[in-house]
Amino acid sequence: MENQSLLLTLTLGTVISFVLFFVFYAGLKLSSKLSALLTILAVEIVYIPLVAFNWPGLDVFAIHFAFFTMVPYGLGMITSQRDTQQRYDQRHGTDKPVAKWRFHWAPATIVGFFIVLACVDGLIITLANKGADASFMQRFLPEPRSGNTAVSAFPGVVSHDFKEKYDQFNSYINQLKVQNDRGWKLTEGWKAKPIVGQDTLFEVALADRDGKPITQGQATIHFLRPANQKFDQQVQLLETAPGHYGNQIKLSEPGLWQIVIKIQQDTNLHEVKGTTWVQPAS
């Protein structure tokens, strides 16, 4: 399921869970616990195979699984008190009729809490996956102190995955020190604002501390999508001029991307991590 439909699938699944529960509980006259169990099984049996063939990411799966489980469980807890009262009246021979079901303010509050929580979590995950466009940032975020709008940046030379493998930590530190001592400088970037689904030239220039271009290097750029690695892609950068490496790049999703640029020249490796922003299609 696509990230843009996250709020829709959460809301739809929650509504279906409510309906199924009361079909089992009020329609088929099953107990609250059995109704909750059957509802959870029915919803999850449908949802899990769907996401298995179209994996949306662990965070998206987790929030769906949690809500589709908690909603029937919460309804089962609420209605179990009514079942207990019915059993008590039957056991003690109470003649008064069982009161009709009322949606008391307490369960109504719980229902409202789940709905608000689903909306907030869905918004957070959607922003984390797809980012926010310029209009969203202008409306809800303060203006940058510099007065400029940042499209992409190279904040420093930080390896993307060195923390994932502890055994490589020492070699990373040594490589980073050698890289800093070497004094190579990487500049430039996008030649135009990147737009999703459109080819845009990305070109970098690598030079030594004296400004001499570093030629005959093997350059690659990795585009990493936060929270959903199925969109990750790697592009080979070709040397278009002495010390200049570039290629036409088309990205599939708008918003924030992490990038890792690696240029290998003989035994020298230069690695830079940064972020870039891709504009949505107009």
Terminus-to-terminus CA distance in the chain, angstroms? 23
Q: How confident is the model at residue 140 (pLDDT cuts 50, 70, 90)?
A: low
Structural contact between residues 87 and 62, judged by C-beta atoms closer than 8 angstroms = no
pTM over 0.85: no
The tokens for 151 are 């499209």
**pLDDT the model gives residue 250:** 93
Q: Which tens digits make up the pLDDT trace of 57-104?
A: 777 788 888 888 888 888 887 777 666 666 666 676 655 554 455 555
Give the CA angle between residues 97, 98, 101 to the nearest 5°. Answer: 140
Q: What is the 3-state secondary structure (H, E, C) of 131-143?
A: CCCHHHHHHHCCC
Least confident span in 139-153, 205-219, 220-234: 139-153
Choose between 267 and 221: higher pLDDT.
221
Domain 152-278 part of CATH 2.60.40.1930: yes
Give the CA angle between residues 56, 65, 83 to the nearest 5°. Answer: 160
Q: Which tens digits make up the pLDDT trace of 228-281?
A: 788 899 999 999 999 999 999 999 888 889 998 999 988 888 888 888 989 888
Q: List the one residue out of 74, 72, 85 whose CA is nearest residue 35.
A: 72
Q: How confident is the model at residue 190 (pLDDT cuts 50, 70, 90)?
A: very high
Task: Evaluate if residue 123 carries a pLDDT over 90.
Answer: no
- Sheet strand arrangement including 268-278: 152-156, 268-278, 255-265, 218-224, 233-241, 244-249, 200-207, 185-190
Q: Which tens digits make up the pLDDT trace of 1-43?
A: 444 467 678 778 888 988 999 899 888 888 888 999 999 999 9
**pLDDT the model gives residue 39:** 93
Quick one: CA dihedral 136, 195, 225, 261, positive or negative?
A: negative
Separation of alpha carbons 229 and 38, rounded Å: 34
